[in-house]
Chain A
Amino acid sequence: MNDRYQQLVNTPIGKIVSKQIGLPSPVKLERYERGQRVVSGPVLLGAAPGGRLAGATAKVLAAIDADVHTPLEEHVRTAAADARLDAKVFNPEAAPEDQAFKALVFDATGIERSEQLRELWAFFHPTIRRVRQSGRVIVLGTTPGDCKRPRQATAQRALEGFLRSVGKEVRKGATAQLIYVDAKAESQIESTLRFCLSPKSAYVSGQVVQIGISAMSANGIDWELPLAGKLALVTGASRGIGKAIAKVLARDGAHVLGVDVPGLHGELEETIGALSGSALMVDITGDDAPARIATYLLEEHGGVDVVVHNAGVTRDKTLGRMDEDRWNTVLSVNLTAQERIGDELLARDVIRENGRIVCVSSMSGIAGNAGQANYAASKAGVIGMVESMAAPVAKKGLTINAVAPGFIETQMTATMPIAAREAGRRMNSLAQGGLPVDVAETIAWFASPASGGVNGNVVRVCAQSLIGA
């Protein structure tokens, strides 16, 4: 699991050598620690004139007590003043060369024609080299499908190409995200802004998130313990990414019900015991598994708030060499079980109001991978499930989203051949692999009761990997 290359290039000599011969130089990413501020440095807030999100963004920045700077433009300053944000003034023409920001946040919703895309250049050209290590670039736009006029939709769609390029240009562990916000969903941005600004999104970059309207409000939420009083079911919770998910959800205040196969009884008890959670031994592919889980949840806990479909297996072989068993096992664990359990929980109304379903897809599901036809089919199916279920679950006041991990440092990747491993690690914007906690933090953002507007999203936790991009 050790990235020896990263350790080496971060030694004094390694830094010189890697710079001289142009090797990738991954920095140690900042990761969230409990009690930490959302942003540990100054934030520059900008906006295209006529936008609708500067005010809501300023309110979030005020709520996280950020040290905010803005250009001295009346529309941004008015938004800041209305949010009671005592924002400082930034003028790139007069600023010292070494003045840098932990985050650049730009409301691009005011851009209604392609000519106005110049606003992006005007804001980012003098500031993009002022992003600090593990910094954040966040652009907010209007969902193209929600735009009234074709020209507006065109201009808003252009944000994607801009943002993805920025993600590839920023250095030193910095990331970039685009947040599309539907009309009238301004009040739903807080959980997503907090996640994207904070070290919780360390390994998420180049992503496009869509936020829609929701009847649920984030008012009164304890951002340190957003899942307090909630029950979270996590399948495959005994080790790897599942274990990290259980830990992070517990950290956020949830009572975690870990589910795993009876064979992993010991490991599951150990993991869940440390989190003061509950364990349920069940093979999720079993015929009676959905009913057993639903009944257990209703009888023991009266229902469930968060369902994380994490359990997954690989049985890699090229298609010609793949026996049917490999095919069936992967599809039944990774996809069919999720569908069956989901259907049962929904049919019996086991998932409580403002509940969450979070699935784990994969970069392979997006890009495909030689030797993983079964796995890629299952993970692409997960994306299909998220897309097709988003509307029906929304009717019940729930959301469904998926993470798609890229190269995550686990026991599985540690045993990969070195060439494939190094390619996976370096061929992304951060030139390193992610950690299980990065996947878990993303899931925790989806799981938050404040994320009611985040539905039907597939967010890659892959540092903008070139694979499948």
Chain B
Amino acid sequence: MNATARRVAVLGGIRIPFARQNGPYARASNQDMLTATLEALVGKFSLEGETLGDVAAGGVLKHSRDFNLTRESVLGTRLDPHTPAYDVQQACGTGLEAAILVANKIALGQIDSGIAGGFDTTSDAPIAINEDLRGVLLELGRAKSNTARLKALTKVRPGQIVPQLPRNAEPRTGLSMGEHAAIMATEWGVSRAEQDELTARSHRKLAAAYDTGFLDDLVVPFLGLERDQNLRPDTTVEKLAKLKPVFGGKEGTMTAGNSTPLSDGASVVLLSTDEWAAEHDIPVLAYLVDAQTAAVDHVHAREGLLMAPTYAVPKLLARNGMSLGDFDFYEIHEAFAAQVLCTLKAWSDPVYCRERLGLDAPLGHIDVDKLNTHGGSLAAGHPFGATGGRIVATLAKALKDFGPTTHRRHPHRPGRGLISICAAGGLGVAAIMEAA
């Protein structure tokens, strides 16, 4: 066992453009998307025939047959088939959590390189048979005599033909993610205008990232799609203001514009030790410094479903002796514009910081110019498992471009980025990355 942790280098990532539900990827499976994305990474970093330490990836909406999806995808690529793989699932935190898992094994000396990724399809979604019918069929299977089989079959009813569709609802509250976010928006007094402003900004920033060529080596075309299908480069606050609310009732402030759409896509990132990167002649873009997950009790306590990152980040900062202002980039996953705004308000609120986070003073304000500088999920879309990979790859490249900070007080410290991702079940995942 290695006594000291090793630095974990982020060498880069790639993703396919994200598509809207039932769009160009309607007939693509999760495995199709992940395999294509992994294959693009293999091409980008010349990994043909390489045996990597691990490939960890996952998605939220999976078929039961896909118990080993990532391994199956690896076998479909030019990676050496001796490369192990496993599936990960932590709702919308999946992609970042996969990167943390791979990074931890690298840090511990268990592996020297690995790929982390995520995927999701809301189009090729699993449909389960009716729960009653499933009961009957299982009973049928258990039956040992024809009489018993016949008895089981008599329980089949016409209504049981209705299948079970996957629901975007919290099991313990019955509320959809959007309804939960609407409750948070109300609690924090988030206005419609603020949300639409953040949304328009996200589209502008992502469009610019495409136009300047920043995304050229981060996005690879798939099934004829070259850019994220959800991106509306010409959207404005005025256009967004015309949309009807979809969550929070008639007076609600949340629309299809300032909430992420159901999307399809996949993303992967390559991590390794410095030595492995040097041996393979791949430049290091950034380092994954540390990470923290947290959870809130959204069922019993007065806590917003998507507020867990507000707990994860202060712990992460304290452990690393940093403060909220010590970053050059903030990547806050835009599940809903309201989620981002609630998070920012919470961190600068003396009451929340003391009563919930147990801090003596507010965590601080974030300079909005440093937030999601290359666009966010509102513009790109949000295939649940794929968002973490998109963010890690984007931030790594942004940090590489940024180089050391020019800040007066820390003239030579490497550029720093903070990632914050909220997830279903009251979960939150956060990470710190630093420029190489």
A-side residues, CB < 8 A to B, are: 70-72, 74, 77-78, 80-82, 84-91, 93-97
Contact = CB atoms under 8 A, between A and B. Distances in A.
Contacts of B355: 81, 84, 86
A81 B189 contact: no
Nearest to A96: B251
Contact of A72 (B186, B192, B349, B353): B349
Given A96-B251, A97-B251, A90 B189 contact: yes
Contacts, number: 53
Contacts of A72: 188-189, 345, 349
Contacts of A80: 350-351
B110 interface: no
B351 A77 contact: yes
Contacts of A95: 186, 189
Given A82-B350, A91-B188, 4 more contacts: A81-B354, A86-B355, A89-B188, A93-B191
B191 A85 contact: no
27 contacts: A71-B189, A72-B189, A72-B349, A74-B350, A77-B349, A77-B350, A78-B350, A80-B351, A81-B351, A81-B353, A81-B354, A84-B354, A86-B351, A86-B355, A87-B351, A89-B187, A89-B189, A91-B189, A91-B191, A93-B189, A93-B193, A94-B190, A94-B191, A94-B192, A94-B253, A95-B189, A96-B251
Main secondary structure of the interface of B (DSSP, over half): helix
Contacts of B351: 70, 77, 80-81, 85-87
B18 to A, nearest CB: 29
Interface residues of B, number: 20
B186 A74 contact: no
B350 A94 contact: no
Interface in B189-212: 189-193
A225 B263 CA distance: 63
A82 B361 CA distance: 10
B361 to A, nearest CB: 9
B63 to A, nearest CB: 41
B235 interface: no
Interface string B157-192: 000000000000000000000000000011111111
7 smallest A-B Cβ distances: which pairs? A91-B189, A81-B350, A94-B191, A81-B354, A78-B350, A86-B355, A77-B350
B57 to A, nearest CB: 39
B405 interface: no
A78 B359 CA distance: 12
A246 B193 CA distance: 57
B89 interface: no
Contacts of B193: 93
A12 B191 CA distance: 38
Nearest to A97: B251
A19 B101 CA distance: 69
B261 to A, nearest CB: 23
B348 interface: yes
Contacts of A82: 350
Nearest to A75: B350
